Amino acid sequence: MPTLQSCSDCNNGFSDDEEYLACFIECVICGTTDPEKLRRDKIRKALARNGRLRGRIKNSKREGQTYNGKSLLSWHPEESCVRSVVLKLARCHAAYELNEPQLEEPAHIGAFPLQTLSTDQLRDFETSPESGGWPEVGSRALQRVSSDGAAINVGGWLEVQEGRYRFMAVGAGNMIVRGVLSEYLGYEVIWE
């Protein structure tokens, strides 16, 4: 798995937010915070040992009814945790893939369940944006360009772990990083 060196504060400063987000996504996908009903062993163990974390996620769940009386379940994550993890991932991909560290605040950052996107929005999100140029010399992105100028990875997405995490990073102009966690949560970060 690709890694990027970082200072101790950055390396350790996101652990709680990363654990929260991983557990939150698994609970949403499974529709419960009950550790025994979750699919991922690591998440089951984390929620079984950390009652406070389980409580935070359980308190984010809202149950209601639709206009025709059917039950409706919605989840409301701690946005600061989602933002910190998404921004960390995007910064790492910009530095590692594009050799373009992005230390300033992005112009845009968004995270959303993929199922909330319309068909057109999902198609646009899944399609690699035009970069308007070639990646920086020496970057991993340039190494993935074939001699005829076509990207080697399909559709711009790089799959880190099947069904768990994929991303794309596009530079030359606006810096755009998109990712998908557990084929549920999409994100996009843009630096102008």
| 132-166 pLDDT tens trace | 555 555 555 554 554 444 444 445 899 999 999 99
What CA–CA distance (Å, rounded) separates 6 from 29?
Answer: 31
Q: What is the pLDDT at residue 16?
A: 95
Q: What is the pLDDT at residue 154?
A: 44
Mean pLDDT by 10 residues, the chain (192 residues): 58 86 98 96 97 97 91 94 97 91 96 97 91 54 50 69 95 88 98 94
CB-based contact 78:60 (threshold 8 Å): yes
Q: What is the pLDDT at residue 127?
A: 93
CB-based contact 24:184 (threshold 8 Å): no
What CA–CA distance (Å, rounded) separates 159 from 168?
Answer: 9
Half-sphere CA count of 100, side-chain side, radius 13 A: 21
Record the tokens describing residue 165, joined without a space.
Answer: 């995490």
Q: What is the pLDDT at residue 183?
A: 98
Q: What is the percent of the chain where pLDDT is above 70? A: 79
Kindly report the number of other CB atoms within 10 A of residue 120's CB atom: 8
Q: What is the pLDDT at residue 173?
A: 74
